[in-house]
Structure 1
Amino acid sequence: MSTPLAGKVAIVTGGSKGIGAATVVELAKQGAKVVINFSSDATPAEELVKQIGPDNALTVKADAASVAGIEELVKQTVAKFGRIDILIPNAGVLPMKDLESTTEADFDRTFAINVKGPYFLAQKAAPHMSEGGHIVFLSTSLCAASTVAPNYLLYNSTKGAIEQMTRVMAKDLGRKGISVNAVAPGPTATELFMRGKPEQVIKTIAGLNPFNRIGTPEEVAQVIVMLSSGASQWVNGQVLRANGGFA
């Protein structure tokens, strides 16, 4: 039986952990060939390749915040699979920085990974994408939350940029038949999110959701993959807030 994404080729940056890894697994389940980008630790990425199979997966170590790294990622993808159909610039950092505590180095690093990387990855991948392609950026539901802690200032600033990229790039690449959308998760139980948070803090955050829990990477991945398929072809320039009603 044919799977919905059979024959499609997807790139997922930051694809070895958290939402990225869950997305890689879901894409593969739907039949896609997946390129798993990582920046340092190869082991989780290699484990995913074993799970999916080497004919359908490729790992690429590259700095997704640099144009040189992005170019290498695109080059290796096209060399192995010949095309790009789905692009998911998932790599990101979550600095807890209010205005007073933000340094120039904090600002430059966070915008490089969260904004510059996705921007130029789309630029370098687009020539290898054809009509019916999909780009799915990652934002955050905190862009729409009525209450946001001050130490999310720097992070939210980058995600605000992502939402504008989504809105305007959809007009640009739409001329080529490529749709551009974003998924904005709420609190999600990834290693990055859970790190350093006491159990009581996690419970408090869970209590802000009408389901009284935090989302899972797999739940967010399902939304990302839905926006990567033909089922969402008439959805373009949208930010889908996958948060269980959090915001």
Structure 2
Amino acid sequence: MRGLQGKVGVIAGGARGIGAATARRLAEEGASVVIGDLLADQAEETANAIRAAGGKAIAVMLDGTDAESQAAIVQAAQDEFGGLDFYHSNLAGGTDGDIDALNCPVDVLEKSFAINSKSHFLATQAALPAMLERGGGAMIYTSSGAASGGAPWQVAYPMTKNAIHPLARHVAAKWGKQGIRANVICPGLVLTEAVKLHLTDEYVERGLKAVPHTRLGAPEDIAAAVAFLASDDGAWVNGQVWHVNGGAQMRD
């Protein structure tokens, strides 16, 4: 990718899965990365692996639902690497107990909102001033194909992931003239470590049959899309929701 060499970015939720793959890819492209996660030990392992391969990375404990924690990770990027050029807001979760609208407990909805909506809002509040100070930058949010999939078995996760889309469009519309780009990636079925733990072989087989592709997704597929949106190659992409799913949903 063009223009990633020397850039500085935060990967929130970067300890494993999509976030870790993204941190590795961006470091390979020459960016310096700050890996934030509640899984502090795993985040440090990912940062260590990047450094061992010749990249630049540090790990910071991040509670994405806390404004002070979000501010602290942005400050860490500035202190360690001199600024902030992109922020990949990649937090997701809160699906335990998430069922249909008549039976989903309110506390499950509130937890889902905190992780899947509030954290991205707080990331935006923390990162934008630093990027504006830099003369521009890229907010890249991870949503989900569930946000537009109409699943009958869960309600909170799709609702709260959907909230990211208008957030990104707002950021693009409000600060685009000041060099800020904001885009969303909606992964399809990606076989991360966490997904593999929870999905049966039957579910994976069913998922493969449903997608017009030869395989299901890998974390590196999403990492490639993030790298493009963070790079100068993605300079004219703003306010978009990209579905990276092997064709599972075909959308304008």
State the Cα RMSD in Å: 1.8
- The letter for the 1-side match of 2:122 is F
Which residue of the partner structure matches residue 150 of structure 1? 152
Question: Cα distance 1:113–1:231, how it changes in 2: closer, same or farther (>3 A)?
Answer: same
Which residue of the partner structure matches residue 223 of structure 1? 225
Query: 2:52 aligned with 1:50, yes or no?
Result: no
- The letter for the 2-side match of 1:239 is V
- The letter for the 1-side match of 2:80 is K
Which residue of the partner structure matches residue 199 of structure 2? 197
- Comparing 46-55 with 124-133, which one deviates more in the overlay? 46-55
Selected match of 1:141 from 132, 135, 145: 145
Which residue of the partner structure matches residue 86 of structure 1? 86
Answer yes or no: is the 8 Å Cα contact 2:12–2:62 preserved in 1.
no
Instruction: Give secondary structure in 2 for the equivalent of 1:192.
Output: helix
**For 2:44 and 2:67, how far apart are their aligned partners in 1?**
24
Answer yes or no: is the 8 Å Cα contact 1:65–1:117 preserved in 2.
yes
**For 1:102 and 1:193, how far apart are their aligned partners in 2?**
22
Instruction: Give secondary structure in 1 for the equivalent of 2:35.
Output: strand
Structure 1-normalised TM-score?
0.92
Q: Deviations over 1:42-62 (max 9, x none)?
A: 1x2222222222871111002
Shift of 1:97: 2.6
| Percent identity of equivalent pairs | 32
Q: Which runs of 5+ in 2 are unaligned?
A: none
**For 1:198 and 1:171, how far apart are their aligned partners in 2?**
42
Shift of 1:241: 0.6
**For 1:39 and 1:101, how far apart are their aligned partners in 2?**
29
Answer yes or no: is the 8 Å Cα contact 2:94–2:115 preserved in 1.
no
Which residue of the partner structure matches residue 40 of structure 1? 39
Query: 2:120 aligned with 1:118, yes or no?
Result: yes
Shift of 1:195: 3.0
Shift of 1:185: 0.7
Which residue of the partner structure matches residue 72 of structure 1? 72
How many aligned positions are there? 243
Instruction: Give secondary structure in 2 for the equivalent of 1:88.
Output: strand
Answer yes or no: is the 8 Å Cα contact 1:98–1:151 preserved in 2.
yes
Shift of 1:3: 6.8
Query: 2:50 aligned with 1:62, yes or no?
Result: no
Structure 2-normalised TM-score?
0.90
Query: 2:101 aligned with 1:99, yes or no?
Result: yes
Answer yes or no: is the 8 Å Cα contact 2:101–2:154 preserved in 1.
no
